[in-house]
Structure 1
């Protein structure tokens, strides 16, 4: 169980770093995605800020779920599995930026989906 908890903390920490990068560099990220169009610069920066806040919320969900593992409540196991499933699409975006990071993220998120459904994990949460 400790490995799953650490795995979720790592995924949440990486998402928090990504969220911070999106929030602090929103205009630069928007310019790299949509180009140097001055007309919609602030609007597109706002979209990047919104995405950064959503990524922060996902990170808080993963870390919060990992911190609740000692309660052994069955809903925590379900939350961990669902969090792993929602973390999978981030692999594509990480792969676009840095392929090695994308593959690593895919493996970690895949483990976060599979580990909560293993028999020993189910038994621990009962």
Structure 2
């Protein structure tokens, strides 16, 4: 398991775009259907934009029609952490990078029933695709 990455606010702001900072460090959400990642057959891995940790495999991505990249599972059990999120007057499960605690999105129990049944709904500005990995 990787060592936790800790940076101060100024360091994160210098490294990230304003939108990446708002989403990953301030627990924001990008508008639906605004992201870069569409479902494709290309082999590769999505990494955290904050710390470059590998998070999700492209082969586990699916089109949920929700407007955000959706995966049925993370790369492994130690790549993301799940936390209870009571913001916005509802109970949800937040997904964060296990290495730098970047907010990635949320996980919901309405994913493909033929796989895990989970939908990891991830902000595209929080991930970076590395083809061929």
Give the TM-score normalised by the residue count of structure 2: 0.21
**If each structure's helix is expressed as a fraction of its own residues, which one has the higher value?**
1
**If each structure's strand is expressed as a fraction of its own residues, which one has the higher value?**
2
Give the TM-score normalised by the residue count of structure 1: 0.22
- Structure with the greater alpha carbon radius of gyration: 1
